[in-house]
A and B are shown apart, each in its own frame.
Chain A
């Protein structure tokens, strides 16, 4: 009897989640019809991209239990891949067509460095923006998960990797644009459509990417691999005793999450019209974790909406500089409180309220996604 009722909860939840995802995507497709303001539309597009980034973290943190404090590293790699190809398409003022990017000229570089060559091809760049973060994550994951490193060590190593890459990018100014990043980019053109950052085409590109990313991530969580990943999160050694290759599943989830973050990074470059080392900075990475925690780490949609909500509020209030400074303080405090008292975030709160409305015992909701009780088990 118990298993039957559990199955029903499971089914109901499946449909509800999918419907919610589709509904949210539909709403954002309609926004341009109601919002006739290119500047605001660009802002919304930006928040959606950040939402995709938060969602990618939810996949690795909430579902796989891999707390990646360096999620912005994948984001930044994607962003730079797109910026590099768009930079090569711009006509430099000083060196004319086919010339070197301006910042290289300023730094006395005489020929294009080898790792820039393939980015002459836009198709390669788009592929690389997803494949490079995934490959980097897979390599890092191979070392970590094959060494059976878990928990806090993963968090530290991912954070350290991001900080070091950030330092390297700033340090290698002549090849990467250094502290200023890569600016003054051409517009992306795909299938004859030019993507102007303040145009509708870009907004729709972002929404399409968001929908695809959400559905891919959702589909992954519904597959058998997705279920095993969640089992590993809850009790790693038990899954290992069943004969599953725990490391392989963790590497796969980690790489998929990085690939989605890379995609988000690429479209972020299009929306922002530049790439900067701050895109893989500690500040952004922390924000991603905060958004995820606020929205609900174990809910793809929750994380996405959490990012849009928090980043949106911050954007709306950021007119005054003093407020922005206090905001960081407030966000830090809010984050600590949520970690302490609301570990499932707003999505968990909504689920509990929903259960209350339906007059079902809270217990069944808790049973479906539990994390913190078992985390110390290993």
Chain B
């Protein structure tokens, strides 16, 4: 029984990390139709920013979250403004452009910060473990789960309860009509991309104490996040949450029985098969194009 709960909690923990990483990607794709292949590099930038702030200024991880969010969001805004906004009607080319941007970011970090692994210290208060239902679990992992759910709630409120969110939803439904009502689509797109990038930065900073930080770390995350988005369906925040935790539990179980790589391979196979029969994902109503 203990093992079962342990397994379930591990799955939840993997799921919360997946959700953190996938949320920004899902918002950007759902809203703008842009697959952001530089997303993993935004995650990496967030992790490096956490490392840098800690080593240079001795800032704790929790305090540095706000500047990290703003920094990576600003980066995202610049990229949207100076690269992606030129590719309005060429969705396939946005993949290429963001891929190129990602490679440049990766290489720039490698040249400035070095290619070796970096480590970020966990906040003191969260470095112990606690007992849940008789099973020991690290407090930091509990914190991650809570943080991912809080961020999700904030995002949902932003999309559904604010003016900016309403404008964005209007643009998604019909851009020309929204524009004729005075919505500045370019500005909203810029803000959306910045928000998605900022979320990726936060995700990177939050997972950095658990994993080593390296310039290549983004690739793995971006692939995992795509699987979440493909499974959950686009334009469905709820779908993203559900599929993040489904994939988290699934990976946890398979990794327990076999190993991480086998888990990834099986999850991918399952998703490819699923796409054949439910191309719109499990939770979305719209068909993807």
Contact = CB atoms under 8 A, between A and B. Distances in A.
B92 interface: yes
A311 interface: no
A167 B267 CA distance: 13
B32 to A, nearest CB: 12
A156 B89 CA distance: 19
Interface in B151-197: none
Given A282-B219, A333-B100, A339-B100, A152 B35 contact: yes
A326 interface: yes
A283 to B, nearest CB: 9
A159 interface: yes
A319 interface: no
Contacts of A151: 91-92, 289
Contacts, number: 129
A118 B162 CA distance: 63
Given A339-B97, A375-B92, A376-B90, A331 B103 contact: yes
Contacts of A340: 83, 86-87, 97
A332 to B, nearest CB: 4
Contacts of A332: 100-104, 107
Nearest to A144: B275
Interface string B85-99: 011011111011101
Interface string A157-168: 101110111011
Interface string B122-137: 0000000000000000
Interface string A274-289: 0000000010001001
Q: Which of B92, B97, B288 has the most CB of A within 10 A?
A: B92
A202 B107 CA distance: 35
Given A143-B272, A161-B272, A164-B265, A155 B95 contact: yes
A220 interface: no
B90 A375 contact: yes
Contacts of B86: 340
A305 interface: no
Given A149-B275, A151-B289, A375 B97 contact: no
B55 interface: no
B223 A163 contact: yes
Interface string A168-182: 101100000000000
A157 B261 contact: no
Contacts of B104: 329, 332-333, 336
Given A153-B275, A325-B111, A164 B103 contact: no
User: Interface residues of B toward A: which range?
Assistant: 35 or more
Interface string B262-282: 101100100111011101000
B230 interface: yes
A376 B230 contact: no
A151 to B, nearest CB: 6
B92 A155 contact: yes
Given A153-B230, A326-B111, A168 B223 contact: no
B99 A289 contact: yes
Interface string A304-344: 00000000000000000000011011011101100110010
Given A329-B111, A339-B96, A160 B268 contact: yes
Contacts of A333: 100, 104
B226 interface: yes
B199 interface: no
A333 B219 CA distance: 19
A359 to B, nearest CB: 30
A321 B153 CA distance: 47
A146 B289 CA distance: 14
B237 interface: no
A289 B95 CA distance: 11
B264 A376 contact: no
Interface string A256-295: 0000000000000000000000000010001001100100
A325 B107 contact: yes
B110 interface: yes
Contacts of A286: 99, 103
Nearest to A328: B107
Given A156-B226, A157-B275, A160-B227, A168 B261 contact: yes
A143 B275 contact: yes
Interface in B225-264: 226-227, 230, 259, 261-262, 264
Contacts of B110: 325
Nearest to B273: A143
Interface string B34-48: 010000000000000
A357 B91 CA distance: 33
Given A152-B92, A375-B90, 18 more contacts: A69-B99, A148-B279, A157-B275, A163-B219, A163-B223, A167-B261, A171-B261, A286-B99, A289-B96, A289-B99, A290-B100, A333-B104, A335-B100, A336-B101, A340-B83, A340-B86, A373-B89, A376-B89
9 contacts: A69-B99, A153-B288, A156-B35, A160-B227, A161-B272, A168-B261, A171-B262, A336-B101, A372-B89
